[in-house]
A and B are shown apart, each in its own frame.
Chain A
């Protein structure tokens, strides 16, 4: 089996324990990467509006989520 089909098989795993755990871990990783990128963008002088546009979310959503700990 090629790597690609192996991944596809896991991504659609019929075992809920495997599939749900993978989604939960992926969400955690997503949150970490988003935080790193938002903090970096702010340090580079990006506005909340620019960050929101790049993330394809509303300005309010990204500002509310990060204003307390990203300057």
Chain B
């Protein structure tokens, strides 16, 4: 399936990986793919989202803080100051000591390694293929990824809360393709 992905669609998946890693999430989910669409601003999905008035920060707000910020907040409710623990660990074991541990990086994955796709994200890629087939396209572009995201899951919920729905986006994508020529 990946061989049919356009260069921009592949770039979206690569960005989704990097976004998941920077948020310290253990897997790549639909929400990371959605954020990845914004990382390719000249892709048709980013153009469509812009037309629909959905910004990257809208999506980030809806997803909540990255794990590290959420951890700091949760530990504070127990009276534990994560920054202080980190400072003590770094005093003893050097800069970044606490954040370099396997546990902090989400298990067995070393920096630079690939994070696995969640079943929900794999489903999105399959649905993107199905959308391409439905439109009789022989490529899978960012527009098909966006349509794949609109079927189910967390990304769909975030977009639906902003009034963005599958049928309307299908029509918009067809319109944008006609205009592109």
Which of the residues B75, B93, B97, B101 comes within 8 Å of A25, measured between beta carbons? Answer: B75
Interface membership of B52, Cβ < 8 A? no
Can you sample 6 A-B contacts with CB below 8 Å?
A10-B79, A11-B78, A28-B71, A31-B101, A36-B93, A36-B101
- Docked Cα-Cα span, A64 to B88, in Å, equals 28
Q: Is the CB of B74 within 8 A of A21?
A: yes
Minimum CB distance partner of B75 in chain A? A25
Task: Give the shortest distance, in Å, between B149 (CB) and chain A (any CB).
Answer: 26
Known: A29-B85, A36-B97, A40-B93. A10 touches B77 (CB 8 A): yes
Question: Is B177 in contact with chain A by the CB < 8 A criterion?
Answer: no
Complex contact A22–B77 (CB within 8 A)? yes
B71 to A: closest C-beta gap in Å: 4
Q: Mark B90-107, 1 if CB is under 8 A from A, else 0.
A: 001100011001111000
Q: Which of A8-34 contact B (CB under 8 A)?
A: 10-11, 13, 18, 21-22, 24-26, 28-29, 31-34
Answer whether A24 and B74 are a contact pair too, CB < 8 Å, given A10-B79, A32-B98, A35-B102.
yes
Q: Which residues of B contact A (CB under 8 A)?
A: 70-71, 74-75, 77-80, 82, 85, 89, 92-93, 97-98, 101-104
Chain A interface (Cβ < 8 Å from any Cβ of B): 3, 6-7, 10-11, 13, 18, 21-22, 24-26, 28-29, 31-36, 40, 69
Assuming A10-B79, A29-B80, A36-B93, is B70 touching A21 (CB within 8 A)?
yes
- A17 shortest CB reach to chain B, Å: 10
Contact of A36 among B77, B79, B82, B89 (CB under 8 A): B89
**Contacts A3-B79, A32-B101 known; 12 new A-B pairs at CB < 8 A:** A7-B78, A10-B77, A13-B77, A24-B74, A25-B70, A26-B75, A28-B104, A29-B75, A31-B103, A34-B103, A36-B97, A40-B93
Among A3, A22, A31, the one with the most B-chain Cβ atoms within 10 Å of its Cβ is A22
